[in-house]
């Protein structure tokens, strides 16, 4: 029972019925579904289900949200702001916990995967219908109008026949596919669709090509076409990086890790080149300024940062999840954020090497989820999605998978506390320093 209620909650989180049908807005649909999902977990546990709560991400993400709330007190002396921060991030951590508490077997994980993919297929179909027919266009299509286009719609002068006539003086508009809720930005929609491509591929079986075509290839085709319609530049780069990581995993062998590092190095070189060549572009110039501002915010308060959601007070964001995190939450909050990600990658690397007699399902899941998380981390270079629901979803599935492996007797090699702390601390300092170097190179 619990897993089905969890599936309904995840579907509602992605489809957003209370926004799709405004009549549902006053009825607190998501709160009701969250309560039902919790009751379902309790019912399952009373019937003998024992979810694994030993995932390190639980403690790290809990500390991360606690630190985000604390920054409001430390920087603004606003105790009410701490509670608002917890409320703001509650859906994120709840999505994570729903996955961990309900993904207690491979079958349940498969059901949760089906709910996530099925929901996104519904979202994409609704979006494509709106894009091509105009139905619900205001909800699923973001229209950018140029200055010239605006003038073209308002410029009236005397026509040849002596009457007033609107003259088209050029310009145009761009249309970008989007969705509802936290996917309301086209970049967010592209980000989650790219991350779900490896998860979709998990359903492919050579022995069932027709079923695979219907349940894998067609959804992937839908997702790819939707990604194209988002016109997300960061999404296209993340898609290319995903292809590189997938090729490294498939053909790299022992060179897979060095090739992954080479891919990251190439991305950073591309990033610098993109901004160096595009400084005349308003977007490129603005991002350079915002990244520089983020470093200044960290310099002003290295421990606490400027406070949760402080970029929002400036009516703009960093357009870089890493800069956004250490600017708002300081080095401690940034360390906790990176630690949750590093712990997840370590889990997945260990699970990829776990022997599994049943068609190597655990390693296949681990490889797919690793690619999904890597694609998110690449797109995070161009988007401020430090607190995105997508990230918590991509951390929850691996944590649940590790719990399944543990219950089946597979105990991935653990890492020591001090080496882990040292590794994350080194990564924290290195990425902050690298951000500074990139900003300097942009100038």
The predicted structure's pLDDT at residue 47: 78
Burial class (CB in 10 A: 0-12, 13-18, 19+), 318: buried
C-alpha torsion sign, points 241, 243, 246, 247: negative
Domain boundaries along the sequence of the chain? 1-50, 64-102+233-443
Q: Give pLDDT, residue 163.
A: 40
Secondary structure of residue 173 in the 3-state scheme: strand
How high is the mean pLDDT in each 10-residue block of the chain (443 residues)? 90 94 87 92 81 85 95 89 91 93 91 96 96 92 64 40 39 81 94 96 88 92 96 90 90 78 82 61 66 89 90 67 93 97 93 68 92 94 90 95 84 78 95 88 69
By the 10 Å C-beta count (0-12 exposed, 13-18 middle, 19+ buried), 154 is classed as: exposed
For 298-301, the CB contacts below 8 A with 24+ separation are 298/326, 298/327, 298/330, 298/331, 298/432, 301/75, 301/330
Q: Half-sphere exposure of residue 58, counting CA atoms within 13 Å on the CB side? A: 14
pTM assigned to the model: 0.89
- Residue 57 gets which letter from DSSP? H
The length of the chain in residues reads: 443
Quote the pLDDT of residue 178.
Answer: 95
What's phi and psi for 106, nearest 5 deg?
A: -65, -35
118 CB neighbour count, 10 Å cutoff: 17
What gap in Å lies between CA 394 and CA 283, rounded to an integer? 28
pLDDT score, position 167: 36
Question: Considering just the CA atoms, what is the radius of gyration of the chain in Å?
Answer: 23
Q: Which residues contact 111 (CB under 8 A, 6 or more apart)?
A: 3, 4, 7
Cα 386 to Cα 121: distance, rounded to the nearest angstrom? 25
DSSP of 214-259, one letter per residue?
A: IIIIHHHHHHHHHHHHHT-HHHHHHHHHHHHHHHHHHH-GGGHHHH
CA distance 276 to 288: 10
**What b/e sequence results for 285-311 when a residue is b if at least 16 CB atoms lie within 10 Å of its CB, and e otherwise?**
eebbebbbbbbebbeebeebbbbbbbb
């Amino acid at each position: 029972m619990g897993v089905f209620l969890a599936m309904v909650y995840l579907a509602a989180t992605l489809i957003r019925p209370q926004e799709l049908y405004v009549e549902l807005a006053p009825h607190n649909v998501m709160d009701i579904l969250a309560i039902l999902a919790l009751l379902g977990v309790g019912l399952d546990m009373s019937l003998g289900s024992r979810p694994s709560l030993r995932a390190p991400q639980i403690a790290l993400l809990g500390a991360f949200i606690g630190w985000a709330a604390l920054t409001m007190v430390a920087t603004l002396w606003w105790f009410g702001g701490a509670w608002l921060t917890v409320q703001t991030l509650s859906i994120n951590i709840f999505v994570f916990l729903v996955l961990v508490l309900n993904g207690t077997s491979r079958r349940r994980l498969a059901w949760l995967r089906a709910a996530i993919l099925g929901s996104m297929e519904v979202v994409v179909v609704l979006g494509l219908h709106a894009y091509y027919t105009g139905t619900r266009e205001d909800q699923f299509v973001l229209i950018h109008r140029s200055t010239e286009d605006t003038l073209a719609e308002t410029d009236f002068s005397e026509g040849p026949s002596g009457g007033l006539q609107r003259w088209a003086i050029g310009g145009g508009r761009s249309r970008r596919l989007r969705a509802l809720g936290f996917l309301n930005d086209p970049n967010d929609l592209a980000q989650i669709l790219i991350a779900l491509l490896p998860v979709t591929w998990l359903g492919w079986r050579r022995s069932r090509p027709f079923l695979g075509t219907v349940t894998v290839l067609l959804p992937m085709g839908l997702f790819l076409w939707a990604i194209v319609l988002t016109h997300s530049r960061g999404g296209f780069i993340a898609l290319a990086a995903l292809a590189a990581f997938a090729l490294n995993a498939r053909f790299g062998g022992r060179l897979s890790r060095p090739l992954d590092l080479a891919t990251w190095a190439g991305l950073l070189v591309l990033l610098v080149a993109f901004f160096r060549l595009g400084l005349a572009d308003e977007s490129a110039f603005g991002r350079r300024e915002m990244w520089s501002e983020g470093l200044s915010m960290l310099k002003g308060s290295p421990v606490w940062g400027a406070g949760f959601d402080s970029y929002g007070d400036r009516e703009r964001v960093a357009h870089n999840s890493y800069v956004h995190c250490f600017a708002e939450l300081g080095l401690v909050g940034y360390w906790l954020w990176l630690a949750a990600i590093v712990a997840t990658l370590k889990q997945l690397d260990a699970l990829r090497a776990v022997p599994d007699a049943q068609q190597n399902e655990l390693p296949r899941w681990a490889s797919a989820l690793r690619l999904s998380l890597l694609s998110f981390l690449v797109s995070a270079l161009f988007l401020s999605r430090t607190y995105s629901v997508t990230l918590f979803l991509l951390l929850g599935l691996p944590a649940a998978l590790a719990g399944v492996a543990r219950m089946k007797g597979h105990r991935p090699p653990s890492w020591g506390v001090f080496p882990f702390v040292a590794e994350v601390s080194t990564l924290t300092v290195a990425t902050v320093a690298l951000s500074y170097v990139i900003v300097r190179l942009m100038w």
